[in-house]
A and B are shown apart, each in its own frame.
Chain A
Amino acid sequence: MRRHLRNLLERGIGVAMLICALLSVATTAGIILTLVGQSVPFFRAVPLGEFFAGRKWAPLFEPPRYGLLPLICGTFLITVGALLVAVPIGVSAALFLSECAPRRLRDVLKPVLEILAGVPSVVYGFFALTFLTPNVIAKLVPSTPIFNAASAAIVVGIMIIPTICSLSDDAFRAVPRSLREAGFALSATRFEVAGRIVLPGAASGVVAAILLAVGRAIGETMAVTIAAGIKPTLTLNPFESVQTMTAFIAEVSEGDVEAGTMASHCLFAVGLVLFAITLGVNLVARWFSRRFREVYE
């Protein structure tokens, strides 16, 4: 009898878990379906050539222009800028944490890093707008407008440092101790072991960490909307105002777009592109981290 009850309970829990799993899969599927369904009318009206190769983005003006390049360019500019900030700092901080820091220092630094990851992105946006731009960037390049890609790139870089640092640290610590010992026994210094054994040994893990951070940078909305502006510009100059794909979505959704209008379909089309890019980046990241797991087995 008791046994019977336990079996029933077991099965009940199993079913509940299955439902939860199905629910999350269904949600994702729902999102994708909506994205695709809602953007179909857009792609009916706008030729793919104009969408992907057009050099002007002005969907809300008359006549509307649907060239996505300025938005892609804005996203690209900020992502690359953020990586230039975050990769050197994040990776070397991780290398320091895993190879050099005494255990006590490490126990302090790691939580601090995680707090950094918890700061809301609005805060970063205002930090860029009210501090970085006037006090740093305007001093270096005086002609810079108040909304500019550089300040946004820097704060997005700061935002993704914890991701890069924490995941790289994991990758470094997955390098077997025996390899470090082999290095030390061959008269290597700590620096040589870190740079020539641990870093190359964890290379694919670090790449995976960077790719995941790229996904975050591309998807970041608030800070870039606040700091980089909402002016779609086809430029690679970081000292100009740019609009990213996410900033466009935020801008248009804030105003009142009616469902079924071209503006709303356009929104979903951009969302679909964004989704495809982040999905692609994440898939590559996963492929990399799977490879990296196999290295020592």
Chain B
Amino acid sequence: MVIMDQPQGSLAGAAKAEMRPSPVSAPEPAGETIVRIENLTIRYGDFSAVKNVSLDVYRNQATALIGPSGCGKSTLLRAINRMNDFVPNCQVDGRIVVRGRSIYDPGCDPVDLRRHIGMVFQKPNPFPKSIYRNVSWGAKINGYRGDMDALVEQCLRRAGLWEEVKDKLKQVALNLSGGQQQRLCIARALALQPDVLLMDEPCSALDPIATARIEDLIDQLKTDYTVVLVTHNMQQAARVSDRTAFLYMGELIEVEDTHVLFTHPRHPRTQAYITGRFG
């Protein structure tokens, strides 16, 4: 197993203050609800992909969303940073409250919201730019005025990629391996100093070793960030998450501490899914 870089401690604080001023900034104590989903229903046209889901995401925890394909995990996840805004016929009802602010209120600016809620996608999608510029991109457009070199290094270290790329920061990111690209995408998201990191099956395009590295990484990220993770891999959910939510056909069947859910599921559907009898 590869030795991970030591966690570098939170980048919050000084660096953060230099970004565009933000209405959401008062820190909350650990263990608080950071994202509260209330009676959320999401429709594509007439089809309800998410049905009346209520779910709390706690600060500094990894929350896993599991469930059979098509049950609405991605849709729910993308609602948290309003990425569904770009889907033409997608309609959201209910509320999502992020640190006290309802994000679907007319007054809430989704661009500002996404500064606090980063996202890592299923397939690594680095920009066709250099490694350095991939990481600096988000910070730059958001008006980061600090030491960019330092920020890039910190984020790459945090994502466990620094040692592998420190001598080729100017090379185009598309030459990296899939696992490296995914860690680069994580570093890129970290450069914005988000509070919450949304990850939609971040390992599904990766081999077991690259997957193990990302899982280690998620584990470390929890000290400074909050992670919401969609995964098809039950072992992965069990390994890295603190809480697990099981969705089935758009409904939230059960949400529980991960070890409880996997050892004593309350609902027979959950039981059937985690023991591999369907899905």
Residues of A within 8 A of B (CB): 103, 176, 178-189, 192, 196-197, 200-201, 295-296
Contact = CB atoms under 8 A, between A and B. Distances in A.
A178 B83 CA distance: 12
Contacts of B83: 181, 184-185
Given A184-B83, A187-B112, A179 B125 contact: yes
A178 B125 contact: yes
Interface of B: 81, 83, 86, 88, 111-112, 114-115, 118-119, 121, 123, 125-129, 137-138, 141-142, 185, 188-189, 192
12 contacts: A179-B125, A180-B86, A182-B185, A182-B188, A185-B114, A186-B137, A186-B188, A187-B115, A188-B138, A197-B127, A200-B129, A201-B128
A184 B123 CA distance: 16
B89 to A, nearest CB: 11
Nearest to A192: B141
Contacts of A186: 114, 118, 137-138, 141, 188-189, 192
Nearest to A297: B174
Contacts of A182: 121, 125-127, 185, 188
A179 B112 contact: no
A296 B123 CA distance: 13
B128 A187 contact: no
B111 A181 contact: no
A168 B225 CA distance: 41
Secondary structure at chain A's binding surface: helix, strand, loop or mixed?
A: helix
Nearest to B123: A178
Interface centre among B88, B115, B127 (most CB of A within 10 A): B127
Contacts of A192: 141
B261 to A, nearest CB: 28
A98 B129 CA distance: 22
The 9 closest A-B pairs by CB, nearest first: A186-B138, A185-B119, A178-B125, A187-B115, A187-B114, A182-B125, A192-B141, A189-B111, A187-B111
Contacts of B125: 176, 178-179, 181-182
Given A103-B88, A182-B185, A201-B128, A187 B138 contact: yes
B121 A181 contact: yes
Contacts, number: 59
A172 B127 CA distance: 15
A178 B114 contact: no
Contacts of A176: 125
Nearest to A295: B128
A187 B121 contact: no
Contacts of B127: 179, 182-183, 197, 201
A187 B86 contact: no
B167 to A, nearest CB: 24
Contacts of B114: 184-187
A152 B271 CA distance: 76
B205 to A, nearest CB: 12
Given A178-B121, A188-B111, A296 B188 contact: no
A187 B192 contact: yes
A209 B169 CA distance: 32
A136 to B, nearest CB: 40
B188 A184 contact: no
A176 B185 CA distance: 16
Contacts of B189: 185-186
Nearest to A196: B141
B13 to A, nearest CB: 19
Nearest to B124: A178
A187 B141 contact: yes
B128 A296 contact: yes
A258 to B, nearest CB: 58
Interface centre among A178, A182, A188, A196 (most CB of B within 10 A): A182
A10 B33 CA distance: 70
B86 A181 contact: yes
A38 B185 CA distance: 62
Contacts of B137: 186, 196
B88 A185 contact: no
Contacts of B86: 180-181, 184
B122 to A, nearest CB: 9
A199 to B, nearest CB: 12
